[in-house]
Chains A and B, each alone.
Chain A
Amino acid sequence: MSAKGLSDMKFIMDFQAQRHWDWKVAVYLYGAGTSAGLIFLEVVLRNLEMIGATTALYGMWIGLGLALLSLAFLFDHLGPKARWRFLYVFRRPRTSWISRGAIIVTVLVLLRLVILLPSMPGFEGLPVGEGTALGGVLRATVLLFALAFMAYSGLVLSSWNSIAFWNTPMLPMLYVGYSFLAGMAALPIVGAIAGGSHEVGLVVPVVRTHLLALLLVNALGLLLYIWGMASGTLPCRESVRRLLRGEQRWNFWAGIVGVGLMLPLIAVGAALSEGSGWGSLPALILVGACLAIQIGSYLLRDAVLRVGVYGQPV
């Protein structure tokens, strides 16, 4: 189809699901939230000396890469015809959350690059490393912008009252929670990439209790969100129906709840009761559970987009 929007809708007065923001936007929202969550936790945990310098550095690079990758999906969604006109996106931060998000992500990416500069050949002497005054200010600013970006990934949906299922403060809160969850779950994966057994051995004991808490908090958040929407207006209830019993039911029950919450809960529980050394079964399972959390986290964004229905236009 050459047009996007409700171009294939029948001319019938009924609820219409939005279809123009598809899986690419879901990837962007997931990547944006997760990268912001990862960088937030990486800065905080490194400051508390709970994770090693190698994991912190790799976390910063991987977070940056994830943010850039998700932005690439967004540009692809805009289409090749947008070309350099995408720079116009900064024009309306006073009213548009997309414009605000563009500014936040640009600042965040630039800050990350500045923080990462000392790790690149030729820039070792820059006074922005850990322990320097400027480095401290930069990292504090990164925390602020990372938090703003996590919230943005939900606010960009909840700010409009056209789609009732999104138009609730619960959605940004849920997305912030999921960003922290996916960010925390990214740390063992980053550790495995960064330094294998040694780094994972350091990260797993730090992560597992926090992961358990985040899993429980987000499960509760998801329950409250769905519960609240189930008692909302007609379009809200239609969205909930589509999510729980309609075309997105497999995504929700098997993906978001099963893979994204229940499996990790069981795995983290097992990791808590067993040892944590690399090569031990619980540590391997925990890394697997962290991958499952990423899948669930993406599917949440995807399903929420897909079940967003407009109310009747009159």
Chain B
Amino acid sequence: MTQWAFTVDLERCVGCQSCVIACKVENGTPPGVHWMKVLEKEEGEFPYAKRTFTPVRCNHCDDPPCARACPTGAIRKRHDGVVIVDQDLCIGTMACMTACPYYVPYRWDGDGGYFGEQLTAYEQEKYARFNPGTAQKCHFCYHRLDEGRPPACVEACPADALNYGDRDDPESRINALLRQKKHFRPKEELGTRPSLFYLTGKGGGTISGGGSR
């Protein structure tokens, strides 16, 4: 059975935010809602200071804490591992936002677009997919996956830092990448088993998580 997963090559990400924009364009998320983020961090001191970039999004965990916390059962995993929000069941308790250690979900309350109260035609069409007052988060572009296309962020990445594939297929691109490069999963110590792997360094094999918690 297909189990979709992402890889993010931290050595390749240049922080161009293409994935952020591609996600916005594809899914038409409202102001203040970012399903995809590229976080910056300054490391070291002059003259050896540098900036690192870490793309962050829903990790589609195998044991998603957001789904456990949700009192209505609005968050569930599809058979292919994608974690989705059923907006008809969501009542906006924001339990998922509190429970997610990656602080991924948002709640959109449905007022206003990027250019004020009056929505553009594009916004009207895109926002019609979101129920106001419900949780919003990355859904792995499942509408594209179902058509055999890659997620918008993966397709837009100019540095080939983002990849996706079937974890259950030994020949898939991400399994090949996991064999080639050292990798870790974010905050693995919390037991969420994210379906996202950060790649860094040659040689394959896992790196134990270095998260602060």
Contact = CB atoms under 8 A, between A and B. Distances in A.
A96 interface: yes
A312 B95 contact: no
Nearest to B134: A81
Main secondary structure of the interface of A (DSSP, over half): loop
Interface residues of A, number: 48
Contacts of B74: 88
A235 B68 contact: no
Interface stretch (B26-34, B140-148, B155-163, B174-182): B26-34
A21 B32 contact: no
Interface string A2-15: 11111110011100
B100 A162 contact: yes
A48 interface: no
Contacts of A120: none
Contacts of B14: none
B25 interface: no
B89 A88 contact: yes
Nearest to B54: A314
Given A79-B92, A310-B103, A314-B56, A163 B187 contact: no
Contacts of B32: 1-3, 5, 7-8
B94 interface: yes
Nearest to A314: B186
Contacts of B213: 161, 164, 233-236, 311
A89 B71 contact: yes
Contact of B103 (A5, A90, A233): A5
B99 A162 contact: yes
B39 interface: yes
Contact of B31 (A2, A11, A80): A2
Contact of B69 (A95, A235, A310): A95
Interface string B40-83: 11000000000010101000000001011111111000000000
A4 B70 contact: no
- Interface bracket on B: 35 or more
A96 B75 CA distance: 12
A3 B107 contact: yes
Main secondary structure of the interface of B (DSSP, over half): loop
A82 interface: yes
Given A11-B37, A95-B68, A161-B190, A81 B198 contact: no
A298 to B, nearest CB: 20
A198 B39 CA distance: 64
A121 interface: no
B11 interface: no
Interface string B91-129: 111110111111111111111100000000000000000
A245 interface: no
Nearest to A163: B98
B211 interface: yes
Nearest to A94: B68
A119 to B, nearest CB: 33
Given A78-B133, A98-B95, A4 B56 contact: no
Given A12-B40, A92-B70, 17 more contacts: A1-B31, A6-B106, A11-B39, A13-B52, A20-B107, A21-B94, A81-B92, A85-B91, A161-B65, A161-B190, A162-B65, A233-B213, A234-B213, A235-B213, A310-B101, A311-B187, A313-B56
22 contacts: A1-B31, A2-B30, A2-B112, A3-B109, A4-B109, A5-B94, A8-B32, A11-B38, A13-B39, A18-B97, A79-B133, A85-B72, A95-B68, A96-B95, A102-B71, A162-B65, A162-B98, A162-B100, A234-B212, A313-B103, A314-B186, A314-B187
Interface of B: 30-34, 37-41, 52, 54, 56, 65, 67-74, 89, 91-95, 97-112, 131-133, 136, 186-187, 190, 198, 211-213
Interface of A: 1-8, 11-13, 16, 18, 20-21, 78-82, 85-86, 88-92, 95-99, 102, 159-164, 233-236, 310-314
